[in-house]
Amino acid sequence: MTDERNFRSSYYEKVGCRGVEEKKSLEILMKEKPWDKVKLKQFCLRFMVPAAYRNLVWKVLLDILPVYADSHQFVMEQRKQQYGDLLYAVDMLELANMNAPRTQILLAMWLLENEERKPPMFPETNLNSADTFIPICRTLLELYDDEVDVYWICKSLTEIVRNMQRDLAKLKEAFQVMLEKEDVELYNHLVEINALEVLPLTKWFNCCFAGVLDDTSLPKIWDKVCSGAPKILSFVAVMLVITLRRNILKAQNGDEVLKCVSEIPEQCEEVVANKAIELWQYGAQPQNDQLAKK
């Protein structure tokens, strides 16, 4: 049976229908009562979540919804009511201009819920949480029509980033090690022109590449982040730099490198995401399995 499934998987992949079997596998997991969160994480770490199910799967992974499917509707009604109460309070207390961009209004709601007057700084790094919340919120508003979902998912992703602060140094170290391994010429060039430290890694990691990669590329990266594997962000950074290597190798200083990575051709963004996932799955799958069991 295993050989047969492996053969089918290989066949589907060759004819461009790999997602067919993956979708069926996810649907089987979603029929379990209750959902097995470990299996769900393992699925998301190995595969791309089908777009039709991504919103629901993320909400379960992020504990916005419980693993009991029968309770989903009731719980979301409670989430919607809490969202409405916060929105009403922000309006009545004049904590935000209701004609302002939705990102600002949702940020004001998040601050009110957390009893904060202004966006708090992440304690480990002293970085502004608004620089995480707003870009992620802006991307989610492009992905989903329901602002209730946007608010709750944005809150959860911001919390992931907050918890990730203590590991930022490790993510940067992993980036350098991988870049040297994957493209030593590019790595040495960045070292020689003192540009390695100029790369905006902290910004990239803290917004999970929101506003850096496009809305079609990000969800497949965030599948892994929502599953408890933020280390994927180091792999994205490596592939982003490698994809832009031709222009970076022409750069003579840090400012020119920074300009290169700030001007990503649109056709490169999905390539970056796909190659980053391939590199990550090839090099980190055993660790991912252990992570999913936690």
Nearest to 175 by CA among 152, 205, 141: 205
Phi-psi region of 228 (alpha: psi -120 to 50; beta: other; left: phi over 0): left
Which residues are CB-contacts of 150 (< 8 A; sequence separation ≥ 6)? Answer: 106, 137, 140, 141, 144
pLDDT in tens, 219-267: 999 999 999 999 999 999 999 999 999 999 999 999 999 999 998 888 8
Nearest to 59 by CA among 81, 88, 31, 35: 35
Query: Concatenated DSSP letters for 4-47?
Result: HHHHHHHHHHHTT-HHHHHHHHHHHHHTSSS--HHHHHHHHHHS
pLDDT in tens, 45-95: 999 999 999 999 999 999 999 999 999 999 999 999 999 999 999 999 999
The pLDDT of residue 17 is 46
Domains of the chain in sequence order: 2-292 (1.10.472.80)
The pLDDT of residue 267 is 84
Angle at 235 between CA 159 and CA 22, to 5 degrees: 80
Give 264's Cβ-side CA count (13 Å radius).
22
